[in-house]
Amino acid sequence: MDLNQFIENFADLFEETDPDTIKATTQFKDIEEWSSLVALSVIAMVDEEYDVEFRGDDIRNSNTIEDLYNIVSSRIE
């Protein structure tokens, strides 16, 4: 699993946000377009792309995209 690919997959979930502004250190909850619907999309993306169970608590307990990546990568078998 690659951090840059994860960031690209994450950025694809946003329609109005410039993907070039989304980095590993981005505080994803500060993205103007962030919503509970996008959070659900993140959970679905992680399940589909990485076959990893990901929960709302994982998102609530994370601040940056790299935090999310670290959780997902720790659960890949």
Give the tens place of pLDDT for each residue, 2-41.
999 999 999 999 999 999 999 999 999 999 999 999 999 9
Q: How many domains does the chain have?
A: 1
Distance CA 56, CA 33 (A): 18
Q: Does 67 reside within a domain?
A: yes
**Residue whose C-alpha is closest to residue 10's, from 28, 25, 30, 36:** 28
Q: Does 52 reside within a domain?
A: yes
* CATH code of 33's domain: 1.10.1200.10
Banded pLDDT at 1 (limits 50, 70, 90): confident
Give the pLDDT of residue 66.
98
The residue range of the domain holding 32 is 3-11+24-75
Tell me, what DSSP letter sits at residue 68?
H
Angle in degrees, CA 8, 10, 12, rounded to 5: 70
**Residue whose C-alpha is closest to residue 64's, from 34, 36, 26, 30:** 26
Q: Does 44 reside within a domain?
A: yes
Give the pLDDT of residue 77.
74
Q: Does 17 reside within a domain?
A: no
Q: Does 7 reside within a domain?
A: yes
Q: Is the pTM of this model over 0.85?
A: yes
